Chain A
Amino acid sequence: MVAEQNEQQPLVQFSQVQKSYDGETLVVKHLDLDIKRGEFLTLLGPSGSGKTTTLMMLAGFEVPTHGDIRLNGRAITSMPPHKRNIGMVFQNYALFPHMTVAQNVAFPLEVRKLPKEQIAAKVQKALGMVRLEEFGQRRPAQLSGGQQQRVALARALVFEPELVLMDEPLGALDKQLREHMQMEIKHLHDKLGLTVVYVTHDQSEALTMSDRVAVFNDGVIQQIDSPSALYEKPRNSFVANFIGENNNLNGEVVEMDQETCAVRLDDGSLVRAARINVHAVGARTTLSLRPERLYVDAAHEGATNQLSGQVEETIYLGDHIRVVARLSGGEPIMVKVQAGPHLVMPRPGDAIRLAFRTEDCRALNPVAAGKMADAGSTSH
């Protein structure tokens, strides 16, 4: 019956957590976060956004300056890390260089004083799980980066923790290996029913692996949602720019109803947008438009909004064409056009009409013109 109760309860609860390192600025400003049993949660954000600090507080290496962290309903704020029974994979693997692979994996079992035969069996099983049975007697330095990463995984999982934390574990690997390891971690998560909290600044990694992603910025969770919701339905301009590619258009709300609003752009054109994060007529807003939801054929079905501009550059990318244009107001805008045999490539200097649907144009909080470029650049 205790188990039943546990099923209902989130595994981890952060309530009103704050953290400051220097007593002046808050690295984590306000954190309320429930982590569900068995989910793969990614903390995503630029460096300094508070995501790693959040992970370190959960692991016990940092103490929150305010608030409460609960694991299984028990406050762990003042519990030392070695009593938390949380597995952790570090950025640089942190394999003990003076021990063999098998000794590394056996370490958490030895400190738990398990009997010798049991340790040997569990170590073998854990190494088998990451397909490194043959490598037990090697030193970590004799392994490749990907193998070291797998040993670190085996070591963090061998004592069967309920919760596994991963701090940018794939950051040091090259792209191909990273993508391979992403799948491997994801499969282990599914197979073992683990709860994983994963920190990364790589948005594609977050989208590939996670059940939910918490986007951090400025010490606050900007949005926590499934990968598709983050991409399709960003709640604010930061998330819209951080996840995927995005066009920003600034304007002023001239009229609004429950669902939509009319926005007069700075070049004078009027568009109708989904009302997401605007609160009053007359307020400034930034419209978020995904490049693939802009159409160069003005008659596209349901695309009631129209903007005109001039093509500056076209880039052929095989499956699609990237058109960089400038609107009549001078704002740059980027369009992804599905490539196909019948497509006529727009040429630089051509006039272009862009059409889009109301629901693909999201009116969000305004971004200052200077900041916009910054926000845009983080999306790559």
Chain B
Amino acid sequence: MTIQGGASAPPADRVLSDGDVPLKVRLRRAERVRKMTAFGLVAPLLVFLLLTFVVPIAGMLWRSVGDNELSKVLPRTEAALVTWDGKSLPGEAAFHALADDLAQAHADDTAVIAARRLNYDVSGLHSAVMSLARHHFDPAATPSYRDAVIAVNHHWGEVDAWGAIRHARGPLTDFYLLSALDLHQDASGAIHRVPADRAIYLDVLARTFRISLTVTLFCLVLGFPVAYLLATQPPKIANGLMILVLLPFWTSLLVRTAAWVVVLQDQGIVNDLLLWLGVIDHPLRLIYNAIGVHVAMTHVLLPFMILPLYSTMKSIKPHFMRAATSLGAPPSVAFVRIYLPQCLPGIAAGCLLVFILAIGYYITPALVGGASDQMLSYFIAFFITDSVNWGLASALGAVLLGATLLLYAVYSKLVGGTDIKMG
């Protein structure tokens, strides 16, 4: 069709002008309402996340590096130590300041704060601080505060004690983070490993990663065939199976873990059955050790592997496998070369999900694991609730977070971040 009288029509590509306002500005205006609406819809969630997620995590990260307790209790001591070289004992002024600070702290009932904080660094300083705080010095009868203070507690004659004080002057410290990595900074500022008998967190971190990795692997091996079955069965059967997969979600985590105690204990179903069958003649130790932790965690985390796998497999149309076999690939080759590569996003998502959940697991290992199977979360909980060392708890949390992020970065680099599909 041709348009008659085209001469009178305006050229089609000319932008109709609206005063001198450029087109871009007008476009932005037109879009503004839509954008505001969109923002308004997500705003409640955004605020909620900010308050319940971002703020607490930021607070935790701050606690892992913040250190301002001691400088409030020992302000004069910290000031006297500013010029100290950290190699030999500080001068008389520092001893005098410490005695004065602790006398003041004793009067204010804050000496215990300093005692606890310094004891984190050098054990024995708790009593050193408390005894010094309780001691009354008569300025006239004390020619040398240095000798007098050392006489009250021998710790004050060691460079490490003074190093601890200076190290804790705040407002920022690397003390907790170093501790979480089994490192220690001495009075001269050099960082070195703590003695083997006091090093625990690196082991715990390694154990946490090892258990999480093994559990992830178990979940993948057990979950893959289930997801495949779910994805390939007709809907009627698949829905029934799916309920079985989801069933654990509807049961409390505590109940599920407790059920494993019942099943795996010495007089539990598994041991009874094996004894009855004559496979073993005395009960196997299946719980309160690594076996229990792995079994229970695999069970609890299995759905998180199956669901992303299922959703990925569901989107792989059966005609790909048919095409592969029609082109001459035996079923096994077709599976490895055609099916598996298309499953990778689901495998990646499932493994990542399970691994990250496993790394932070607390209740299950606490209930079914032995003392040597506790993961990092156990220690975080311990420092928060039992020994009230929030700084170290936060530092351990930060290390966990950092390690997880690092791992995620490596992982997404390997599988291609955009390929991960959460379902």
Interface residues of A (CB under 8 A from B): 59-61, 80-88, 90-92, 94, 96-98, 107-108, 111-112, 155-156, 159, 165
User: B317, B323, B326, B338: which has the most chain A beta carbons within 10 Å?
Assistant: B326
Interface membership of B415, Cβ < 8 A: no
- The answer to whether B333 touches A86, judged by C-beta atoms less than 8 angstroms apart, is no
In the complex, the chain A residue whose C-beta lies closest to that of B329 is A111
Complex CA distance for A87 and B337, rounded to whole angstroms: 19
Interface membership of B384, Cβ < 8 A: no
Q: In the complex, what residues of A have CB within 8 A of residue B328's CB? A: 82-83, 85, 108, 111-112, 159
Q: In the complex, what residues of B have CB within 8 A of residue A107's CB? A: 324, 327, 329, 337
In the complex, the chain B residue whose C-beta lies closest to that of A96 is B338
Interface membership of B325, Cβ < 8 A: yes
CB distance from B316 to the nearest CB of A (A): 9
Q: In the complex, what residues of B have CB within 8 A of residue A108's CB? A: 327-329
Complex CA distance for A80 and B328, rounded to whole angstroms: 10
Question: Could you say which of B317, B327, B334 contacts A155, with CB atoms under 8 Å apart?
Answer: B327
Docked complex: B80-110 residues within 8 A CB-CB of A: none
Interface membership of B24, Cβ < 8 A: no
- The answer to whether B322 touches A61, judged by C-beta atoms less than 8 angstroms apart, is yes
Docked complex: B324-377 residues within 8 A CB-CB of A: 324-331, 333-334, 337-338, 341-342
CB distance from A164 to the nearest CB of B (A): 10
- The answer to whether A92 touches B317, judged by C-beta atoms less than 8 angstroms apart, is yes
- The answer to whether B333 touches A111, judged by C-beta atoms less than 8 angstroms apart, is yes
In the complex, the chain A residue whose C-beta lies closest to that of B316 is A97
Complex CA distance for A91 and B333, rounded to whole angstroms: 23
- The answer to whether B323 touches A88, judged by C-beta atoms less than 8 angstroms apart, is yes
Complex CA distance for A107 and B320, rounded to whole angstroms: 12
CB distance from B13 to the nearest CB of A (A): 27
Q: In the complex, what residues of A have CB within 8 A of residue B325's CB? A: 60, 80-82
- The answer to whether A82 touches B326, judged by C-beta atoms less than 8 angstroms apart, is yes
In the complex, the chain A residue whose C-beta lies closest to that of B320 is A94
Complex CA distance for A282 and B330, rounded to whole angstroms: 60
User: A82, A84, A156: which has the most chain B beta carbons within 10 Å?
Assistant: A82
Known: A87-B326, A98-B341. A82 touches B319 (CB 8 A): no
Q: In the complex, what residues of B have CB within 8 A of residue A85's CB? A: 328
Docked complex: B300-328 residues within 8 A CB-CB of A: 317, 319-320, 322-328
- How many pairs of residues, A versus B, come closer than 8 Å at their CB atoms? 67
Q: How large is the interface on B (under 10, 10 to 19, 20 to 34, 35 or more residues)?
A: 10 to 19
- A sample of 12 cross-chain residue pairs with beta-carbon separation below 8 angstroms, ordered by A number, consists of A60-B325, A61-B322, A81-B325, A82-B325, A82-B327, A87-B326, A88-B326, A90-B319, A98-B341, A108-B329, A156-B326, A156-B327
User: A86, A88, A165: which has the most chain B beta carbons within 10 Å?
Assistant: A88
Docked complex: B221-235 residues within 8 A CB-CB of A: none
- The answer to whether B331 touches A94, judged by C-beta atoms less than 8 angstroms apart, is no
Q: In the complex, what residues of B have CB within 8 A of residue A81's CB? A: 322, 325-326
CB distance from B29 to the nearest CB of A (A): 36
- The answer to whether B319 touches A94, judged by C-beta atoms less than 8 angstroms apart, is yes
CB distance from B45 to the nearest CB of A (A): 33
Known: A85-B328, A112-B328. A90 touches B342 (CB 8 A): no
CB distance from A313 to the nearest CB of B (A): 26
Q: In the complex, what residues of A have CB within 8 A of residue B323's CB? A: 88, 90, 94, 96
In the complex, the chain A residue whose C-beta lies closest to that of B327 is A108
Question: Could you say which of A86, A96, A112 contacts B326, with CB atoms under 8 Å apart?
Answer: A86
Q: In the complex, what residues of A have CB within 8 A of residue B324's CB? A: 96, 107
Known: A97-B342, A111-B327. A90 touches B333 (CB 8 A): no
- The answer to whether A96 touches B331, judged by C-beta atoms less than 8 angstroms apart, is no
Q: In the complex, what residues of B have CB within 8 A of residue A82's CB? A: 325-331, 334
Complex CA distance for A61 and B317, rounded to whole angstroms: 15
In the complex, the chain B residue whose C-beta lies closest to that of A59 is B326
Complex CA distance for A87 and B328, rounded to whole angstroms: 9
Question: Could you say which of A59, A61, A86, A96 contacts B320, with CB atoms under 8 Å apart?
Answer: A96
Q: A108-B329, A111-B327 are in contact. List 9 more A-B contacts (CB 8 A).
A: A61-B322, A80-B330, A81-B325, A82-B325, A82-B331, A83-B328, A85-B328, A111-B330, A165-B326
Complex CA distance for A111 and B324, rounded to whole angstroms: 10
Q: In the complex, what residues of B have CB within 8 A of residue A60's CB? A: 325-326
- The answer to whether A159 touches B327, judged by C-beta atoms less than 8 angstroms apart, is yes
CB distance from A11 to the nearest CB of B (A): 17
- The answer to whether A98 touches B342, judged by C-beta atoms less than 8 angstroms apart, is yes
Complex CA distance for A90 and B325, rounded to whole angstroms: 12
Question: Could you say which of B319, B326, B327, B337 contacts A92, with CB atoms under 8 Å apart?
Answer: B319
CB distance from A207 to the nearest CB of B (A): 27
Q: In the complex, what residues of B have CB within 8 A of residue A98's CB? A: 341-342
Complex CA distance for A83 and B338, rounded to whole angstroms: 18
Complex CA distance for A336 and B54, rounded to whole angstroms: 76
- The answer to whether A94 touches B317, judged by C-beta atoms less than 8 angstroms apart, is yes
Complex CA distance for A156 and B327, rounded to whole angstroms: 7
Docked complex: B174-216 residues within 8 A CB-CB of A: none
Q: In the complex, what residues of B have CB within 8 A of residue A97's CB? A: 342
CB distance from B301 to the nearest CB of A (A): 28
Docked complex: B51-97 residues within 8 A CB-CB of A: none
Q: In the complex, what residues of B have CB within 8 A of residue A59's CB? A: 322, 326
Complex CA distance for A85 and B320, rounded to whole angstroms: 17
Q: In the complex, what residues of B have CB within 8 A of residue A111's CB? A: 327-330, 333
In the complex, the chain B residue whose C-beta lies closest to that of A61 is B322
In the complex, the chain A residue whose C-beta lies closest to that of B344 is A98
Q: Nearest 9 A-B pairs (CB), nearest first?
A: A94-B323, A108-B327, A88-B326, A111-B329, A94-B319, A82-B325, A81-B325, A98-B341, A111-B328
CB distance from B323 to the nearest CB of A (A): 4
Q: In the complex, what residues of A have CB within 8 A of residue B326's CB? A: 59-60, 81-82, 84, 86-88, 156, 165
In the complex, the chain A residue whose C-beta lies closest to that of B333 is A111
Q: In the complex, what residues of B have CB within 8 A of residue A84's CB? A: 326
Complex CA distance for A107 and B333, rounded to whole angstroms: 11
User: B323, B327, B328: which has the most chain A beta carbons within 10 Å?
Assistant: B327
Q: In the complex, what residues of A have CB within 8 A of residue B329's CB? A: 82, 107-108, 111
B24-67 CB contact bits vs A (8 Å, 1 = yes)? 00000000000000000000000000000000000000000000
